[in-house]
């Protein structure tokens, strides 16, 4: 893990994706937790807004995906971002591959925000935030493509029958 993380850390420091910078203070004491400062891309709904992403790496990285979430006072209002900072993005869970990197995760998040046409929270935001695990990787996400609007809806499932009932009854 250390060599791979060190290599990715250097890549992020030396050649970060547009609008992203590594918060150097976040890596002074540990290499397994990073904060990446992000600025909304020009010409998007998030232009000029500033966000922070928290990356946490397990000892199994890169075989396991990093835990990634928005943190801080400004969490983007987006259909795939919950108000607690959890991000519904398939490459952070079931579509993760060791071939992916911190850079590719950052680019995917930039793309996700940049393609947003309307600022709104996921439909199950309040319920999810009240009932979810603190670790977003413990959430089972449903990715549902809507053919007519070409948008993706994210819904959580947790081991609570109430949540499953809520999600199924609100489809």
In angstroms, rounded to a whole number, what is the distance separating the alpha carbons of residues 125 and 121?
6
Catalytic (active-site) positions: 88
Top pLDDT among 138 and 61 is at 61
Number of residues that make up the chain: 171
Instruction: Band the pLDDT of 107: cuts 50, 70, 90.
Output: very high
Domain containing residue 71:
2-169
Tell me what pLDDT residue 131 has: 86
Tens of pLDDT, residue by residue over 35-50, are 999 999 999 999 999 9
- The mean pLDDT of 117-145, rounded to a whole number, is 80
Please report, for the domain that includes residue 102, its CATH number: 3.10.110.10
pLDDT digit string, tens, across residues 2-20: 899 999 999 999 999 999 9
Count up the domains in the chain and report the number: 1
């Amino acid at each position: 893990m250390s060599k791979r993380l060190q290599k990715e850390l250097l890549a992020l420091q030396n050649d970060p994706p547009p609008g992203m910078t590594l918060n150097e203070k976040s890596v002074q004491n540990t290499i397994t937790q990073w904060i990446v400062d992000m600025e909304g891309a020009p010409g998007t709904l998030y232009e000029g807004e500033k966000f922070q992403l928290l990356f946490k790496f397990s000892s199994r990285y890169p075989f396991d995906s990093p835990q990634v979430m928005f943190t801080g006072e400004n969490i983007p209002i987006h259909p795939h971002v919950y108000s607690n900072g959890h991000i519904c993005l398939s490459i952070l869970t079931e579509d993760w591959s060791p071939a992916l990197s911190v850079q590719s995760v950052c680019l995917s998040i930039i793309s996700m925000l940049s393609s947003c046409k309307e600022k709104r929270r996921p439909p199950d935001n309040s319920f999810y935030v009240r009932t979810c695990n603190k670790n977003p990787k413990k959430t089972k996400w449903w990715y549902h493509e809507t053919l007519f609007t070409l948008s993706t809806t994210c819904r959580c499932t947790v081991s609570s029958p109430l949540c499953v009932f809520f999600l199924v009854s609100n489809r």
